[in-house]
Structure 1
Amino acid sequence: MMKEKTIMGVVKLKLDKIKKSTTINPLGREIKYGFNNQEESTAVLLLHGFGGKSSNWNYIAKKIYQELDLPVYVPRLPGHATNRSDFLNSSAEQWLRKSVDSYFYLKSDYQNIYLAGLSMGGLLAALVASNFEVKKLSLVAPAFYTINKNIAFAPYLKYFVKKLDNDFQINQADLSAEEIDYHNNYSFNYYPKALAELYKLIKKGRKAVPKIKSPTQLILSSNDKQVATDQIKDFLNKKMGQFLVDQKIYQKSPHVIINDLEKERCAIDIINFFSK
Structure 2
Amino acid sequence: MATDQQQHGPLHLPGGSSVGVLVLHGFTSTTASVQDWARAVHTAADDSGAHPGVSVPLLPGHGTQWQDLAAQPWQAWRDAVDEEFWRLRAHHEHVVVCGLSMGGALALHTAARRDVAGVLLVNPALALVNRMARFSHVLSRAVPTLQGIGSDVKRPDALESAYDRTPLAAVAQLNLLMHRTVRMLPAVTAPTVVFRSDEDHVVSGSSADLVARRSSGPVRIVALPDSYHVATLDHDAPVIEGESRDAVARLSRGEAFLPAGPGTPDGAR
The TM-score normalised by the length of structure 2 is 0.82
User: Between Structure 1 and Structure 2, which shows a larger proportion of helix residues?
Assistant: 1
Task: Judge conservation of contact 2:189–2:218 (CA < 8 Å) in 1.
Answer: no
Task: Judge conservation of contact 2:126–2:178 (CA < 8 Å) in 1.
Answer: yes
For 1:215 and 1:234, the matched residues in 2 are separated by 15
Are 1:66 and 2:43 an aligned pair?
yes
Residue among 177, 193, 200 paired with 1:201: 177
Task: Judge conservation of contact 2:151–2:230 (CA < 8 Å) in 1.
Answer: no
Task: Judge conservation of contact 1:96–1:124 (CA < 8 Å) in 2.
Answer: yes
Could you say what the CA RMSD is over the residues aligned between the two structures, in angstroms? 2.5
1:67 aligns to what SS in structure 2? Answer: coil
Are 1:235 and 2:210 an aligned pair?
yes
Deviation per CA, 1:194-232: give whole Å up to 9, x if none.
111111111111111111111111110011111111x12
For 1:27 and 1:97, the matched residues in 2 are separated by 23
The TM-score normalised by the length of structure 1 is 0.80
Question: How far off its partner does 1:238 sit?
Answer: 1.8
For 1:81 and 1:24, the matched residues in 2 are separated by 9
Distance 1:169 1:201, change over 3 A: closer
Task: Judge conservation of contact 1:42–1:71 (CA < 8 Å) in 2.
Answer: yes
Distance 1:168 1:42, change over 3 A: closer
For 1:255 and 1:208, the matched residues in 2 are separated by 24
Any stretches of 5+ residues in structure 1 without a counterpart? 1-22
For 1:109 and 1:73, the matched residues in 2 are separated by 12
Any stretches of 5+ residues in structure 2 without a counterpart? 46-50, 251-256, 258-269
> Aligned residue pairs: how many?
241
Number of the residue aligned with 1:252: 226
1:57-136 map, 5 Å: 57-68=34-45, 69-136=51-118
Number of the residue aligned with 2:9: 29
Deviation per CA, 1:80-107: give whole Å up to 9, x if none.
1111222222221111110111101111
2:199 aligns to what SS in structure 1? Answer: coil
